[in-house]
Amino acid sequence: MDMKHLFEWIEKRQHAIKTWMIPILAMLVASVYLLVYATGGIKFVYSHSMYLPILIAGFVFGIKGGIVTALVGGLALGPFMPIEVATGEQQLAINWLYRSGFFLLFGILSGLAADSATSYITHLQWLSLHDSSTELPNRKALLDRLTPNSLLIVISLENVMELKSTLGFSVIDEAVRQLAARFLKMDMGKAIFRIETRQLAVLLFLKDTEDKDVALRTLISASREPILYNGISIHVDSRMGVTEIGENVFEPPERYLQEAEAALTIAEEKLQDSFPYSPEIMAATTENLVTLGELKKAIEHCELSLHYQPKVRIADGMVCGAEALMRWTHPTRGNIPPGMFIPRAEQSTLIQLITEFALKQAMEQIVVWERYGIRIPIAVNISTRNLLQPDFSDFIAKLIDQYGIRAELLELEVTEGSLMVDIEQTVAEMMKLAGLKIIMSVDDFGTGYSSLQYLHKLPISFIKIDQSFVSRSPADRGAAGILEVAVDLAHKIGIKAIAEGVEDEKVYTFLHSIGCDMAQGYAITHPLAPDAFKSWYERCNGVYMCSES
């Protein structure tokens, strides 16, 4: 048995140990008295045996137990014990008082050591179940407390980095402390825990579903109230993940916390105040993690490839570009759609590897197609992380030199939303790229943040109007109106408009009528592998003819 288990065993049996130790100590004191008496009296060395029950009493019962046993032992070997039994000579009072003083000192010291050790162990036990900064129960305490018929809510503070960088680390502790105090004041059965630096957990013991809904709304409302820090009112953003613990608890406690945190992740992604757990969330999260885990290997093993979808000039049908679209052929799972790995990869460092792969593949294709007289720009999508990567433009310049292509045959598409992450850095990097004569365009225009105030600053040649507007036109008058405005706006600031997601020739004809410059979509052709694109291009002589135009 190791020390940890020994201490746990002793702690669980403290009461029984102390109960049995009282008669044992009495017997030990009596035995020492009889031993000293039987060996001829106090003048012999056997009187030192009394230190044993005194030390044991101090360790078991603490300082009080050590003192009591020392006094009893001092009296037993004091006036009731002669110096020499054979002659009946009695001790001087100073002798047994002096000895009793030493007994008392040992009793106090052993009791003090035991009390200190007990206090320290108690403190360690408290620390193991509490957050020292806020004194709230911690993650381990929550796992120990999970019970059937309860609602577990994990609350995450979202603007932690902003708060810490502005007001210091202590503001997070204070925010957690005030939110916990606020939740505890509410009239509902609950317990509050701090499970991570920026996360709280609330365990509600409510049986009625309606009561749970009310409690959740109350928590959301309370979390929106500002906190007070150094006399300043501060807003704290928060999201909540929710899971129910049913009547029969079959899973380990960690599983329920995992469910709540998985729901929290969805709430953060969807920008919702709260989100309830469902089994589909865990399945999707697991699949995402597995997919990302295999993505790097997929790049190394050449499982990724690029297909190309042409861009057509609507006025005359001339093919004037192509967009490179990522494809992943998994050896066992088959074709994995880009929507299953690109968005998640954009939130990780893997996107840099993917972008590098796409750029190299696209440049190789430019070189190959030029040999066959196909001289059209290839557009590659880049992410926010790429634009914020130091020396990204220098990296592109080196690749252009390495492959020996003309820079104007490379187009970089940036989504509208990514422009707003760090507009100054984005504009600066895009200016460097445009300075290399690379074509720049804004993708998914109309779906992201409001970029109109920055649009005139960007060194772009095109805006790509998102397919959500294109596919609904011209039947949807609202979508058609947005399309017309976007095309007109592009022309007024001296750039061209591309409509993506053109699914049929009616939409193509409508785009022609409003003066849209270019079109891309299944109405023209679906994305093609390099050889298939070459065959399609040569077959139509680089010109797409719409039957309704």
- The stretches of 225-304 forming alpha helices (DSSP H) are 253-270, 279-300
Give the homologous superfamily in CATH for domain 139-277.
Reverse transcriptase/Diguanylate cyclase domain (3.30.70.270)
Residues 6 or more apart in contact with residue 359 via CB below 8 angstroms: 380, 396, 399, 410
Asked if residue 278 lies in contact with residue 336, where contact means CB atoms within 8 angstroms, the answer is no
Count CA within 13 A, CB hemisphere, residue 315. 6
DSSP 107-126: HHHHHHHHHHHHHHHHHHHH
CB-based contacts of 341, cutoff 8 Å, min separation 6 = 291, 292, 295, 328
The answer to whether the peptide bond before residue 474 is cis (omega within 30 degrees of 0) is yes
Nearest-angstrom CA–CA distance, 512 and 153: 53
| CATH class of domain segment(s) 309-539 | alpha beta
pLDDT at 8: 65
Q: Is the separation of the CB atoms in 206 and 215 below 8 Å?
A: yes
Predicted local distance difference test score (pLDDT) of residue 437: 94
Q: Where are the domains of the chain?
A: 3-129, 139-277, 309-539
What pLDDT sits at residue 279? 83
DSSP state, 190? E
Model pTM?
0.65
User: For residue 191, which of 239, 114, 245, 238 has the smallest C-alpha distance?
Assistant: 245
What is residue 383's DSSP assignment? -
3-class secondary-structure state, position 303 = coil
Q: What is the pLDDT of residue 374?
A: 94
Report the alpha-carbon distance of residue 434 to residue 453 in Å, rounded.
20
Instruction: Give, for all 549 residues of the chain, the pLDDT tens digit.
Output: 566 666 666 677 778 888 898 899 999 999 999 999 899 888 888 888 999 999 999 888 889 989 999 999 999 898 888 888 888 888 888 988 998 999 999 999 999 998 898 888 888 888 989 998 899 999 999 998 888 888 899 999 988 888 888 888 888 999 999 999 998 887 666 789 999 989 999 998 866 666 778 888 889 988 888 999 988 898 888 999 999 887 766 678 888 998 999 899 888 888 889 999 888 887 777 777 777 788 888 888 889 999 999 999 999 999 999 999 999 998 888 888 888 888 778 777 888 889 999 999 999 999 999 999 999 999 999 987 888 888 899 999 999 999 999 999 999 998 766 666 667 788 888 899 999 999 999 887 866 544 566 677 788 999 998 888 998 888 899 989 989 999 999 999 899 999 999 998 999 999 999 999 999 999 999 999 999 999 999 999 988 887 654
3-class SS of residue 92: coil
Question: For residue 539, what are its two tokens?
Answer: 């077959």
Give the per-residue pLDDT at 428.
85
User: What whole-number distance in Å separates Cα of residue 112 and Cα of residue 117?
Assistant: 8
The tokens describing 275, both together, are 């989100």
- The structure tokens 């408290």 sit at 126
- Cβ–Cβ < 8 Å for 188, 217: no
Nearest to 258 by CA among 335, 360, 152: 152
Distance in angstroms (rounded) separating the CA atoms of residues 268 and 227: 21
pLDDT of residue 334: 87
Tokens of 17: 């140990």
Cα 416 vs. chain centroid, distance in angstroms?
26
